[in-house]
Amino acid sequence: MSTAPETAPDADRTDGPRDFIRQIVRDDLAAGRVAMVRTRFPPEPNGYLHIGHAKAICLDFGIAREFGGRCNLRLDDTNPGKEDPAFVEGIKEDVRWLGFEWDALCHASDYFEVFYLAALKLIAEGKAYVDDLSAEEMRAYRGTLTEPGRPSPWRERSVAENLDLFRRMRAGEFADGSRTLRAKIDMASGNLNLRDPALYRIRKIAHQNTGDAWPIYPMYDFAHALSDAIEGITHSLCTLEFEDHRPLYDWCVDSVDLVHHPELLEPLRRQDRDVQPSRPRQIEFSRLNLSYSITSKRKLAELVARGLVEGWDDPRMNTLRGLRRRGFTPGGIRLLMERLGVSKQNSVIDYTLLENCIREDLDDHAPRRMAVLDPLKLVIVNLPEDHEEALVFANHPKDESLGTRTVPFARELWIEREDFAEVPPKGFKRLVPGGEVRLRGVGIVQCEEVRKDAAGRVSELRVTLDPASRQGLPGAERKVKGTIHWVSARHAVAAEVRLYDRLFNVPAPDDESDGSSWLDHVNPEAKRVVQGWVEPAAAQCAPETHFQFERLGYFVSDRLDHRADAPVFNRAVTLRDTWARARAE
């Protein structure tokens, strides 16, 4: 399935997002430098995607879609041992969940033969050599930001010796880490990435895609640049940390020069692959830094390994699969990316902005239901004990197309405990002894009696209902200060409700300047589990169905654990920003 629209690309279009990358694309199309925009999203399959990846996904696929181009999903699988087919499938699932489809599914490992031929070409031209320095020695020889590097003792090996050694590396003759292939560029360069960077290393470990076929693997910078060129990528979009790598990216692309050396692509053509190499252009943009979050795969993996979360899809995690399970929506995430735009200025985005985008998307689309999470029994004493009726409620107050539902109503109800106060605080507008409140869709009730258990805790409220105050009757116009929701105690379904919040309790958990570890900032209140009661129409839903539980927040039926006879709901976000209130206090 293509991401490209049927209309032709229009370099002069004025609708849609405007940012410096899209302006570059417009200029390239207008000047004829590119005929069709080609982008790629190239994650490493060594973990699941997180919220930071969502920005790159929306940009890579979005630009291809906007300009009638093509976008590949490329698995950058050059680091065997840390990669897993489960991560590959998870990445594909997450991209589709966000609303995108790739034009081609590629792997860097698809091009291993081409990379090898390209390396032989560089060696033959005196642009690469086999080095015997260990990793520690290579770092010592590399120099510093203020001191030039020193050439390796093996830098001046002959072309013939280098070709022989590299072919023997390929044959598996040498031990892991004993030799590397390095580019011969400039050990005195002010850019450390150009000080003879490694292009290949020996790793005798099975690869998730190629098995035991290769005892050597290309380094990321080499494989990434050549993969872009092989796939005909026109605009290679990267985050700002790759800006210093751009000279090496350009060196790899220009030194190998696949456009003018089609013989290097013969392994792919033998597979009947239509290969149209390009001279890609790398463009950098600022990554998504989110407060109260981490986006390090290593640290996310550590949370899982330490058992601080229940897996990569734990709703407390800011992995895409975790956010999805919590109830965040693709539309809300895309809305955030649209509002943030694209720039070269690094900044930290307040987590509240993400939550507000999720609220906005869910407010438009989520049906309403009633649920009680901290129940207090309310008995309407002037109704018969066997009273039962079905009330009709709209599923959404602003969208009639979502229809209506019936909600059972009986004499005994559950209400939220916080909706009653014996000694009300200032401004309290709900139920108090002797006071009145409107029951949602039912009418006005007055509290006549407060009953308590042996411990002195309020256990039951006994009220009378004004039957003339129901909506549509003249008494409905009578004013009371508060309206509360409820569920019928006889008909409500018990549900496990998981109340999720931010995983970290400080805005910058990675900041260890005060001597604390990022793990010290894990929020112990990020997950609370309560037994609640939901109306039957909430329980009878498929997994991964979103609702607004009235007055409580936005929830989703858990995609793995929910069943109609044993419902499980996760809170996605509260109705309002509770963190802002906590900071103000």
Q: Give the model confidence (pLDDT) of 185-239 as tens digits.
A: 999 999 999 999 999 999 999 998 899 999 999 999 999 999 999 999 999 999 9
In a domain, 279, yes or no: yes
Higher-pLDDT residue of 17 and 496 is 496
Is 44 an active-site residue? yes
Note the Cα 352 to chain centre separation in Å: 16
Candidate list 96, 279, 287, 470, residue with the active-site label: 287
Q: What is the CA radius of gyration of the chain?
A: 31
> Beta-carbon neighbour count of residue 125 at 10 Å?
12
- The reply to whether 396 falls in a domain is yes
Where helices occur in 349-392 by DSSP H, the ranges are 351-365
Tell me: is residue 51 an annotated ligand-binding position: yes
386 shares its domain with 268: no
What is the C-alpha end-to-end distance of the chain, expressed in Å?
A: 51
Counting the structural domains of the chain, the total is: 2
Strand blocks (E) in 351-492: 368-369, 371-372, 375-380, 388-394, 404-410, 412-416, 436-439, 443-452, 458-466, 483-484, 487-488
Which residues are within 8 A (CB) of 520 and not within 5 positions of it... i.e. 6 or more apart? none
Task: Report pLDDT digits (tens) over 378-399.
Answer: 999 999 999 999 999 999 999 9
* Beta strand ranges found along 320-403 (DSSP E): 348-349, 368-369, 371-372, 375-380, 388-394
Instruction: Give the pLDDT mean for 297-312.
Output: 95
Closest to 442 measured CA to CA, from 413, 406, 467: 467
Residue 334 is assigned to a structural domain of this protein: no
Q: Do 407 and 266 share a structural domain?
A: no
Dig out the tokens for 525 from the structure: 């209140």
Which member of 65, 297, 321, 369 is catalytic? 297
Band the pLDDT of 9: cuts 50, 70, 90: very low
User: Quick one: average pLDDT of 123-146?
Assistant: 96
CB 129 within 8 A of CB 123: yes
CB 283 within 8 Å of CB 21: yes
Sign of CA dihedral 333, 336, 341, 345: negative
Quick check: is 563 in a domain? Answer: no
260 is in an annotated binding site: no
Q: Binding residue per annotation — 173?
A: no
Strands 371-372 and 553-557: unpaired
CA-CA distances (angstroms) from residue 502 to 98, 338, 352, 528, 558? 21, 23, 10, 12, 18
pTM of the model as a whole = 0.91
Backbone angles phi, psi at 151, to 5 degrees: -70, 145
Domain boundary among 287, 306, 339: 287
CATH number at residue 200: 3.40.50.620
Q: Which range marks the domain in which residue 410 is found?
A: 377-485
Annotated ligand binding at 45? The verdict is yes
In a shared domain, residues 282 and 386: no
- If asked whether residues 384 and 273 sit together in one domain, one would say no
Does 377 participate in catalysis according to the annotation?
no
DSSP state of 433: T
524 falls within a domain: no
* 384 is known to lie in a ligand binding site: no
Beta strands in 127-184 (DSSP E): 128-131, 180-183
The domain boundary, picked from 261, 287, 313, lies at 287
Residue 202 lies in a domain: yes
State residue 2's pLDDT score: 41
Residue 79 marked in a binding site: no
| Structural domain contains residue 218 | yes
* Residue labelled with tokens 């260990």: 134
Confirm whether 184 is a catalytic residue: no
176 is in an annotated binding site: no
Structure tokens at 278: 């390009």
Is 46 known to sit in a ligand binding site? yes
CA 101/CA 85 separation, integer angstroms? 19
Task: Give the Cβ contact number of residue 334 at 10 Å.
Answer: 19
Q: pLDDT, tens digit, for every residue of 446-479?
A: 999 999 999 999 999 999 999 999 888 888 888 8
Are 258 and 387 part of one and the same domain? no
Region 130-147 average pLDDT: 95
Out of 44, 93, 243, 460, pick the active-site residue.
44
